[in-house]
Structure 1
Amino acid sequence: MATALVPPDKATAYKVAGLVAEELGWSVRGWKIAAMKEEMQQALRTDSPIYGRVFFTKPTPISVERAKLASPIPEVEYQAKLGADLPPREKPYTVEEVTDAVASLHPGLELAECRFVHDAAFPPLPAILADGAGSGTIIYGPAIADWRTRDIAGQEATLSSNGKVRRKGTAAAALDHPMAPLTWLANELSRTGVGLKAGEMVSTGTLTGMLAPKAGETFVADFGPFGSVEVTFT
Structure 2
Amino acid sequence: MMDRGGLAARLIGDHDRKEKFRPFAAANGITSLDDAYDVQEHYVSLLKPRCGAAVGYKIGLTSQRMQVMCGIDQPIAGVVLADRLHHSGARVAIADYGRMGLEFEIAVRMGSDLPSGGPAWTPESIAAHVAGVCAAFEIIDDRAADYAELDVLSLVADNSWNGGVVLSEFRSSWPALDAVSGVVSRNGSELDRGHGRDVLGHPFASLAWLANALAAKGQSLRAGEIVMTGSLVTTRFPTEGETYRFELAGVGAVELDVTAAAA
Q: 1:62 pairs with 90, 103, 109, which one?
A: 90
Alpha-carbon distance change, 52 to 2 in structure 1, aligned in 2, over 3 angstroms: closer
The one-character-per-residue Cα deviations of 1:13-58 (angstroms, maximum 9, x if unpaired) are 1111011122333411111111224443344343321111111222
Report the AA paired with residue 122 of structure 2.
Answer: T
Is 1:189 the counterpart of 2:195 in the alignment?
no
Following the alignment from structure 2 to structure 1, what is the Cα–Cα distance between the partners of residues 223 and 162?
20
After superposition, where does 1:127-146 map in structure 2 within 5 Å? 127-146=154-173
Is 1:10 the counterpart of 2:10 in the alignment?
no
Q: 2:73 pairs with 28, 39, 47, which one?
A: 47
Q: State the match for 2:188 in structure 1.
A: 163
Equivalent pair of 1:87/1:190 in contact (CA under 8 Å): no
Q: Which has the higher helix share?
A: 2
Alpha-carbon distance change, 2 to 93 in structure 1, aligned in 2, over 3 angstroms: closer
- For residue 227 of structure 1, report the CA deviation from its aligned partner: 1.4
- For residue 88 of structure 1, report the CA deviation from its aligned partner: 4.4
- Give the aligned CA root-mean-square deviation in angstroms: 2.0
Q: 1:107 pairs with 108, 132, 135, which one?
A: 135
- For residue 209 of structure 1, report the CA deviation from its aligned partner: 1.3
Which sits farther off after the overlay, 191-200 or 3-12? 3-12
Following the alignment from structure 1 to structure 2, what is the Cα–Cα distance between the partners of residues 122 and 72?
19
Following the alignment from structure 1 to structure 2, what is the Cα–Cα distance between the partners of residues 47 and 208?
16
Report the AA paired with residue 54 of structure 2.
Answer: V
Task: Mark the runs of 5 or more structure 2 residues left unpaired by the alignment.
Answer: 1-21
Following the alignment from structure 1 to structure 2, what is the Cα–Cα distance between the partners of residues 134 and 6?
20
- Determine helix, strand or coil for the equivalent of 1:213: coil
- For residue 80 of structure 1, report the CA deviation from its aligned partner: 0.3
Alpha-carbon distance change, 96 to 103 in structure 1, aligned in 2, over 3 angstroms: same
Equivalent pair of 1:158/1:208 in contact (CA under 8 Å): no
Following the alignment from structure 2 to structure 1, what is the Cα–Cα distance between the partners of residues 29 and 150?
10
Following the alignment from structure 2 to structure 1, what is the Cα–Cα distance between the partners of residues 31 and 59?
21
Equivalent pair of 2:40/2:156 in contact (CA under 8 Å): yes
TM-score if structure 1 supplies the norm length?
Answer: 0.90
- For residue 140 of structure 1, report the CA deviation from its aligned partner: 0.9
The one-character-per-residue Cα deviations of 1:123-172 (angstroms, maximum 9, x if unpaired) are 3211100011111211111123521xx23221211111111111110012
- For residue 11 of structure 1, report the CA deviation from its aligned partner: 1.6
Equivalent pair of 2:102/2:140 in contact (CA under 8 Å): yes
Following the alignment from structure 1 to structure 2, what is the Cα–Cα distance between the partners of residues 87 and 118?
38
The one-character-per-residue Cα deviations of 1:52-81 (angstroms, maximum 9, x if unpaired) are 111122211110111112321111100100
- Determine helix, strand or coil for the equivalent of 1:168: strand
Report the AA paired with residue 141 of structure 1.
Answer: S
Q: State the match for 1:35 in structure 2.
A: 61
Following the alignment from structure 1 to structure 2, what is the Cα–Cα distance between the partners of residues 232 and 151?
29
TM-score if structure 2 supplies the norm length?
Answer: 0.80
Q: State the match for 2:126 in structure 1.
A: 98
Identity %: 28
Question: Which 4+ stretches in 1 moved above 4 angstroms?
Answer: none
Is 1:124 the counterpart of 2:179 in the alignment?
no
Report the AA paired with residue 101 of structure 2.
Answer: I
Report the AA paired with residue 165 of structure 2.
Answer: I
